[in-house]
Structure 1
Amino acid sequence: MTNKKKLLIYAHYYIPDVASTGQILSELSEGMLDTFDVTVICVVPSYGGTIEAKYKTNKYYRENINGVKVLRIRVPEFQKHNKRSRIKNILRYFFGAVSATFQVGSQDYVFSISQPPILGGLIGMLGKWIKRAKYIYNIQDFNPEQTKAVGYSKNKMLLGIMLGLDKFSCRHSDLVITVGRDLIETMNSRFEGKKIPKTVLINNWIDEKKIYPLPIGHEKVLAFRQNYNLTDKFVFMYSGNIGLYYDLENLMAVIRRFGPGTTTPDGRYVAFVFVGAGSLLDPLISYKELHHMDNVVFIPYQDKANLNYSLNAGDVHWCVNAKGIQGVSCPSKFYGQVAVARPVLGVLEKRSEIRLLMEESHCGLIADPGDYEGIEHHVQWFIDHAGSKEVTDMGRNGHRFLLNHLTKNISLLKYKQAILNS
Structure 2
Amino acid sequence: MHRYYWPDTPPYAAMLRRIVASWRDVGHHVEVLSSQPSYKGELDIAKRPRRDDIDGVSVTRLSLPAEAGRPLTRVVNAIRLGGAVIWRAMTRRPDVIMISTAPPVLGGAAAALAAKLTGARFIYHCMDIHPEVGKVSGEFAHPVVYGVLSRLDNWSCRRADPVVVLSRDMEKTLRQRRGGERLSIEVLNNFSLPAEKVLPDELPFEWSDETFRVLFAGNIGRFQGLDSVVEAMGLLKGRDDIEFVLMGEGVAKEALQRKASEFGARVRFLGHQPVEIAKAAMQRADAGFVSLAAGVYRYAYPSKTMTYLEQGCPLIVAVEPESELASDVVAGGYGHTVPVDDSKALAELLMRLADDRSEAAGMRGRASEKAKDTFSEDVVLKQWVELLQSSEVERE
Q: TM-score, normalised by structure 2?
A: 0.90
Q: Does 1:409 align with 2:368?
A: no
Q: Does 1:68 align with 2:57?
A: yes
Q: Distance in 2 between matches of 1:393 and 1:408?
A: 23
The CA deviation string for residues 182-214 of structure 1, in whole angstroms up to 9 with x for no partner, is 1111121113554x22111111111689899x9
Give yes or no for contact 2:85–2:111 (8 Å, CA) kept in 1: no
Q: How far is the alpha carbon of 1:85 from its aligned partner?
A: 4.1
Q: Distance in 1 between matches of 2:45 and 2:2?
A: 22
Q: Distance in 2 between matches of 1:208 and 1:16?
A: 12
Q: How far is the alpha carbon of 1:399 from its aligned partner?
A: 1.0
The CA deviation string for residues 203-247 of structure 1, in whole angstroms up to 9 with x for no partner, is 1111689899x9xxxxx34x31xx333334322110001111111
What amino acid is the match of 2:217? S
Give yes or no for contact 1:207–1:408 (8 Å, CA) kept in 2: no
Give yes or no for contact 1:44–1:72 (8 Å, CA) kept in 2: yes
**Root-mean-square deviation (Å):** 2.6
Pick from 165, 178, 201 the counterpart of residue 187 of structure 2: 201
Give yes or no for contact 2:195–2:276 (8 Å, CA) kept in 1: no
What amino acid is the match of 1:141? D
Pick from 181, 202, 209 the counterpart of residue 168 of structure 2: 181
Q: Distance in 1 between matches of 2:365 and 2:58?
A: 38
Give yes or no for contact 2:320–2:326 (8 Å, CA) kept in 1: yes
Find the counterpart in structure 2 of residue 231 from structure 1.
208
Structure 1 residues 369 and 211, CA, compared in 2 at 3 Å: closer, same or farther? farther
Structure 1 residues 183 and 77, CA, compared in 2 at 3 Å: closer, same or farther? closer
Structure 1 residues 145 and 234, CA, compared in 2 at 3 Å: closer, same or farther? same
Q: How far is the alpha carbon of 1:138 from its aligned partner?
A: 1.0
Q: Distance in 2 between matches of 1:400 and 1:168?
A: 40
More helix by share: 2
- Structure 1 residues 27-36 or 304-313, which shifts more? 304-313
SS at match of 1:301: coil
Q: Distance in 1 between matches of 2:118 and 2:41?
A: 31
Q: Distance in 2 between matches of 1:98 and 1:303?
A: 35
Identity, in percent, stands at 22
Give yes or no for contact 1:243–1:278 (8 Å, CA) kept in 2: yes
What amino acid is the match of 2:372? L
Structure 1 residues 382 and 67, CA, compared in 2 at 3 Å: closer, same or farther? farther
Structure 1 runs (4+) deviating above 6 angstroms are 207-212
Structure 1 residues 192 and 350, CA, compared in 2 at 3 Å: closer, same or farther? farther
Give yes or no for contact 1:73–1:97 (8 Å, CA) kept in 2: no
Pick from 354, 359, 377 the counterpart of residue 390 of structure 1: 359
Find the counterpart in structure 2 of residue 344 from structure 1.
315
Pick from 242, 255, 258 the counterpart of residue 283 of structure 1: 255
The CA deviation string for residues 363-413 of structure 1, in whole angstroms up to 9 with x for no partner, is 11002213333222222222222xx33122112111112212222111111
The CA deviation string for residues 332-353 of structure 1, in whole angstroms up to 9 with x for no partner, is 0000111111110001123323
Q: Distance in 2 between matches of 1:236 and 1:177?
A: 32
The CA deviation string for residues 10-46 of structure 1, in whole angstroms up to 9 with x for no partner, is 1211111221221221121122212221211111101
Find the counterpart in structure 2 of residue 5 from structure 1.
none
Q: Distance in 2 between matches of 1:314 and 1:211?
A: 20
Q: TM-score, normalised by structure 1?
A: 0.84
Find the counterpart in structure 1 of residue 394 from structure 2.
none
Pick from 72, 79, 82 the counterpart of residue 94 of structure 1: 82
Q: Distance in 1 between matches of 2:4 and 2:107?
A: 11
Find the counterpart in structure 1 of residue 23 from structure 2.
32
Structure 1 residues 210 and 353, CA, compared in 2 at 3 Å: closer, same or farther? farther
Find the counterpart in structure 2 of residue 155 from structure 1.
142
Give yes or no for contact 1:40–1:68 (8 Å, CA) kept in 2: yes
> Pairwise mapping of residues 362-401 of structure 1 onto structure 2 (< 5 A)?
362-385=333-356, 388-401=357-370
What amino acid is the match of 2:245? V
Q: Distance in 2 between matches of 1:316 and 1:235?
A: 7
Structure 1 residues 328 and 117, CA, compared in 2 at 3 Å: closer, same or farther? same
What 5-or-longer segments of structure 1 have no aligned partner? 1-9, 215-219, 264-268
